[in-house]
Structure 1
Amino acid sequence: MLEGLATAVNHRRWFVELALPYLGDNPIEIGSGLGDYAIEWAPFLERFTATEADPDRLVALKERLASEPTIEVRQMLLPNTEQGDYSAAVSYNVLEHIEDHVGALRSMRNLVRPGGAIVLIVPAFEFAMSPADIATGHVRRYTKKTMRAALDEAGLEIETLHYANALGLLGYYMATSVFRLMPKEGPMVKVYDTLVLPVTKAAERVVRPPFGQSVFAVARVPS
């Protein structure tokens, strides 16, 4: 779904900015897809590790990032038992695909050094679960309450938890649940990304909305 929205440049840059203060010097991304976020984050970091679970997509990811000297690409499927010393684990729109999401969060915790951050974006509100969600393998959507519960159960210390992109939720619900459309590139996405998204971003810097298309969360690994 996100690969079909590659022209939503302002949307992607907003979410890039949200994570940057928490990534540290050597983060790992869980579920990098085709590397859109990795390419945006890498210039600000000493090292970056991009991962992908799907073998075919992993090949495409390695090909795309082959010219990026600071990015390591590897396969990773969560949950797992690997231990690491990364400065942070960042995962955007991945946790909603994983049945054992608490187990996946514990795996991220084990990959990150004490005091490091787990940075997440997940889709918000079960009422917005649509045929598009089901077609792309979503098993749940979140609220702040359910995200908090999962992070607490995984033994993480919540630092930041809020909704993002309020107007995007309304647009997504109308497009996918009312009109039964699949998100894809086109004039509607371009208009939204060019005209609506900057206004939404500016407003949410001043006032946190009570709802949004996504839940943004930052939690710390206990020292």
Structure 2
Amino acid sequence: MADITGDQRVQSEVLEGLATAVNHRQWFVELALPYLGDNPIEIGSGLGDYALAWADHVPHFTATEADPDRLVQLKERLADHTNIDVRQMLLPAPDAAGEYSAAVSYNVLEHIEDHVGALRSMAELVRPGGRVILIVPAFMFAMSHVDIATGHIRRYTKKTMRAAMTEAGLTIEKLHYANALGLIGYYSATSIFKLAPKEGPMIKVYDSLVLPVTKAAESIVRPPFGQSVFVVAKVPG
């Protein structure tokens, strides 16, 4: 697969900005928790924020990163956490032995040209009956200069995600949009005002005021659109 495209500097700035959105991260942490099992692997761990949160809930966790410089930073940050292994990984992985209970990957698949091949590779890492858990950005109309600078090749709908999962031989168990108000805010900020989601007042206001309202509403009613697509798929047994 799969070199991940995009400007590494811009990607780092966006990651650092989103790292301050603690309520947003906690929401997305919670979405994956029921499906991780006892020994999950994360594809594309970035700065390690999700890895640290998930590792508190499982006996063993594997964090991975493709970029060598970011891998060094990831190893340094996670060095004191004895239940977390850190490894470099590019897909397809030649030693994919199906040993993991789940493969979880947030905001990675949209960078990869052969996304169906990437999904198959993730499935090969997972034991039969385990899960592939993804979050990806939603709706091509929201593709902005930030997406392009960070290497996004596509954004998804539920329909296109279902098609990719089906082609990869995976069975979808859960598929829905998440963060409806976030999509409106993202489109306004990036496409209308030409801003980027960096650390600062915009992120703090969104995370402290807007996000809790959105999360509460979406726990009752699934919205017909969102900033992200969340999907859980089962690996054939």
1: CA distance between counterparts of 2:147 and 2:45? 18
Counterpart for residue 74 of structure 2: 61
Counterpart for residue 216 of structure 1: 230
Counterpart for residue 162 of structure 2: 148
Counterpart for residue 112 of structure 1: 126
Asked whether the 8 Å contact 1:52–1:75 carries over to 2, the reply is: yes
2: CA distance between counterparts of 1:189 and 1:170? 14
2: CA distance between counterparts of 1:123 and 1:80? 24
CA deviation after TM superposition for structure 1 residue 181, in Å: 0.8
2: CA distance between counterparts of 1:77 and 1:98? 11
2: CA distance between counterparts of 1:194 and 1:221? 37
Counterpart for residue 188 of structure 2: 174
Asked whether the 8 Å contact 2:116–2:164 carries over to 1, the reply is: yes
Counterpart for residue 14 of structure 1: 27
Counterpart for residue 201 of structure 1: 215
1:44-70 superposed Cα distances (whole Å, 9 cap, x missing partner):
100000000001100000000000000
| Secondary structure, aligned partner of 1:28 | strand
Taking structure 1 as the reference length, the TM-score comes to 0.98
Q: How does 1:13-162 map to 2 (within 5 A)?
A: 13-81=26-94, 82-162=96-176
Asked whether the 8 Å contact 1:163–1:209 carries over to 2, the reply is: yes
Which amino acid is 1:126 matched to? M
Asked whether the 8 Å contact 1:168–1:213 carries over to 2, the reply is: yes
CA deviation after TM superposition for structure 1 residue 185, in Å: 1.1
CA deviation after TM superposition for structure 1 residue 2, in Å: 2.8
Unaligned runs of 5+ in 2: 1-13
Which amino acid is 2:187 matched to? Y
Asked whether the 8 Å contact 1:80–1:104 carries over to 2, the reply is: no
Unaligned runs of 5+ in 1: none
CA deviation after TM superposition for structure 1 residue 85, in Å: 1.2
| Secondary structure, aligned partner of 1:206 | coil
| Secondary structure, aligned partner of 1:148 | helix
Asked whether the 8 Å contact 1:79–1:100 carries over to 2, the reply is: no
State the aligned residue count: 223
**Where do 4+ consecutive residues of structure 1 move more than 6 Å?**
none
Which amino acid is 2:127 matched to? R
Taking structure 2 as the reference length, the TM-score comes to 0.93
1:138-185 superposed Cα distances (whole Å, 9 cap, x missing partner):
000000000000000000000000000000000000000111111111
Which amino acid is 1:207 matched to? V
RMSD: 0.8
Which amino acid is 1:37 matched to? Y
2: CA distance between counterparts of 1:60 and 1:195? 31
1: CA distance between counterparts of 2:112 and 2:93? 12
Counterpart for residue 7 of structure 2: none
Which amino acid is 2:173 matched to? E
CA deviation after TM superposition for structure 1 residue 79, in Å: 3.0
* Percent of aligned positions that are identical: 80
